[in-house]
């Protein structure tokens, strides 16, 4: 008989933090509410907090000591969403995607606009055996005409789903990448003594091209960088073949389609996990990218890697992660930032 992982020793404060972050709306380009929520959580722990011109929240923790480096840790706070392109005479709103939105996960879904309006995604009649496209979908806000429709061209919404606690596993519409923001916040709180000057970047507009991390990396100019993001899994029926699964520990990225992690950074991360007896997995992601690419290409180049949280059903309204993987990701990140970094 397969045993369900224990939920008895869970950190209720961490669960409350995750719920707060995943339920705060913030599609790419509209991150003001989630940025304020993160700032509130870290204000008593960071030495300096600022927001740059693009909207990245940057928190400095500690000062560089002998043997220390300037380290950038980036977790993006934006999420996928939709933008209105047209409202017809009957008040139905057409839209385009912000980030990687699949039509298959949209139909019947509920959305929340940044102005507080709620709506439901409907679909035109489809021919038999045909898949929907975004052009066939529309948002119904309950309006009777274009004149009384509460949304206009350019208005942005995200998907609306409540946080779901399944015990060993947690589900939300924006685990990508709010779960990594939670990991970074927990690391800031736990990082008592580090030889490094650490810049925690809660980046914006990752879902539309790693834009926030690109500007932040130029501003921070780190000696080494780590993205913290989710990654796909290969542990559900008839899915992609991938050696990453829930409940087996955080993943250490080797490569994805946006960058190849610096082998020295990978080795450093593996050594730290082994030394702390933290379970880990090695990740080779065939498609997808993270802020690691943006950090790696800053200035003359930066040694960069990525700490990944395994996640099922990415870019859907019900993304799922393992509570144990999240806790171990926090432990590994704190261990990495607490020791000298020798990349050779």
**What is d(CA 184, CA 246) in angstroms, rounded to the nearest whole number?**
20
Point out the catalytic residue in the list 23, 31, 206, 319. Answer: 206
What is d(CA 292, CA 227) in angstroms, rounded to the nearest whole number?
5
Q: Known catalytic residue: 206?
A: yes
208: CB partners within 8 A, 6+ apart: 28, 29, 78, 98, 99
Q: What are the residue ranges of helices labelled H in 191-298?
A: 211-220, 263-275, 291-296
| Number of CB atoms found within 10 A of residue 87's CB | 23
**Cβ burial, residue 239 (10 Å; 0-12/13-18/19+):** exposed
**Residues in contact with 341: Cβ distance below 8 Å, sequence separation at least 6, in sequence order:** 69, 71, 196, 224, 268
E-strand ranges in the chain read 48-51, 57-61, 70-76, 81-87, 93-98, 110-113, 118-123, 137-140, 156-159, 164-165, 169-172, 197-203, 224-231, 251-255, 281-284, 304-310, 319-322
Q: Which runs of consecutive H residues, i.e. helices, occur in 123-252?
A: 175-190, 211-220
Q: Report the candidate in 77, 32, 62, 33 with the shortest Cα–Cα distance to residue 216.
A: 77
Cβ-based neighbours of 98, under 8 Å, separated by 6 or more: 27, 28, 29, 80, 81, 82, 83, 156, 207, 208
DSSP for residue 98: E
The residue to which tokens 């997995």 are assigned: 281
Catalytically active residues, by annotation: 206
């Amino acid at each position: 008989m397969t045993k369900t992982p224990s939920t008895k020793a869970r950190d209720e404060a961490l669960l409350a933090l995750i719920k707060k972050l995943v339920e705060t709306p913030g599609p790419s380009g509209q991150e003001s509410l989630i940025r304020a929520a993160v700032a509130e959580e870290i204000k008593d722990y960071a030495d300096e907090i600022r927001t740059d011109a693009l909207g990245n929240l940057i928190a400095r923790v500690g000062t560089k000591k002998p043997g220390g480096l300037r380290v950038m840790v980036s977790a993006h706070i934006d999420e996928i969403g939709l933008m209105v392109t047209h409202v017809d005479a009957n008040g139905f709103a057409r839209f385009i995607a912000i980030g990687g939105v699949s039509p298959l996960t949209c139909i019947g879904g509920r959305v929340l606009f940044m102005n507080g309006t709620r709506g439901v995604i409907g679909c035109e009649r489809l021919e038999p055996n045909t898949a929907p496209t975004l052009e066939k979908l529309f948002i119904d806000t309950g309006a009777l005409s274009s004149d009384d429709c509460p949304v206009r061209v350019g208005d942005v919404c995200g998907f609306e789903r409540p946080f779901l606690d399944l015990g060993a596993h947690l589900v939300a519409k924006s685990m990508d990448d709010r779960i990594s923001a939670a990991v970074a916040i927990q690391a800031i709180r736990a990082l008592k003594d580090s030889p490094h000057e650490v810049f925690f970047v809660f980046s914006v507009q990752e879902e539309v091209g790693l834009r926030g991390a690109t500007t932040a990396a130029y501003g921070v100019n780190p000696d080494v960088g780590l993205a913290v993001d989710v990654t796909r899994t290969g542990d559900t029926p008839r899915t992609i073949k991938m050696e990453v699964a829930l409940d087996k520990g955080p993943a250490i990225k080797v490569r994805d389609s946006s960058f190849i992690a610096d082998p020295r950074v990978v080795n450093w991360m593996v050594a730290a996990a082994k030394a702390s007896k933290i379970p880990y997995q090695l990740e080779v992601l065939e498609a997808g990218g993270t802020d690691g690419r943006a950090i790696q290409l800053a200035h003359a180049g930066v040694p960069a890697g990525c700490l990944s949280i395994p996640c099922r059903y990415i870019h859907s309204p019900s993304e799922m992660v393992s509570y144990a993987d999240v806790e171990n990701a926090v432990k590994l990140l704190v261990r990495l930032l607490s020791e000298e970094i020798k990349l050779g």
